[in-house]
Amino acid sequence: MYGLVNKAIRDMVCEKFGEDTWETIRQKAEVEVDTFIGMEAYPDDITHRLVKAASEVLAMPPPEILKAFGEYWVIYTAEEGYGEMMDMAGDNLPDFLQNLDNLHARVGVSFPQLKPPSFECTDVAEESMNLHYRSSRQGLAPMVFGLVGGLGKRFNVEVDITQLRSREEGAEHDEFSIKYKPE
């Protein structure tokens, strides 16, 4: 994954728990790099090791780490150089989710090593939709809870998200039911 992801994990840990905790996590993960370059591609393994080590050091299950990270990602990318891109993707939750594949396609033009997931929206209604998440990567579905929750905060809507189908449990892809209403 692009270094931006590992940089975001580092900054989240440092912000919430301090530099020393990050150093402990980095060492436990056996990650040599400390200063990730956002626009450089790194092996996925580094990210997975960081999540695993963070889970052990912070005594939080990996899905909780991923959920917290998803929420952080939405704020982080908006502040770390991708604010305009995020603004362009929509000014409300359903529009943003329906534009995510376009957003990734645009990033992918400049960064060909991007392996963009796909977010397909079906059954879109006034206050609900189903979200189909397809990714070349495994185990990141818990992050979707945080990503959508982060978008809820961004757009000031109360979000209720439940998982309808899980790849972990044999489904072809992950599917979520999302309900939203203005706060």
Q: Using CB under 6 A as the criterion, which residues of the chain lie in contact with ligand 1DX when the complex forms?
A: 1-2, 4-5, 38-39, 73-74, 77, 82, 100, 103, 107, 111, 114-117, 135, 137, 140, 143, 147-148, 151
DSSP assigned state of 60: -
Q: Which residue's entry shows tokens 């959920």?
A: 67
Please report how close the Cβ of residue 141 comes to ligand 1DX at its closest, in angstroms.
8
Closest to ligand 1DX by CB, 29 vs 94, is 94
Residue type at 57? V
Please report how close the Cβ of residue 106 comes to ligand 1DX at its closest, in angstroms.
9
Closest to ligand 1DX by CB, 20 vs 77, is 77
Token reading at 8: 């975001």
Please report how close the Cβ of residue 125 comes to ligand 1DX at its closest, in angstroms.
19
Judge contact between 151 and 97, C-beta under 8 A.
yes
Judge contact between 158 and 181, C-beta under 8 A.
yes
Closest to ligand 1DX by CB, 16 vs 137, is 137
64 Cβ neighbours under 8 A, 6+ residues apart? 55, 142
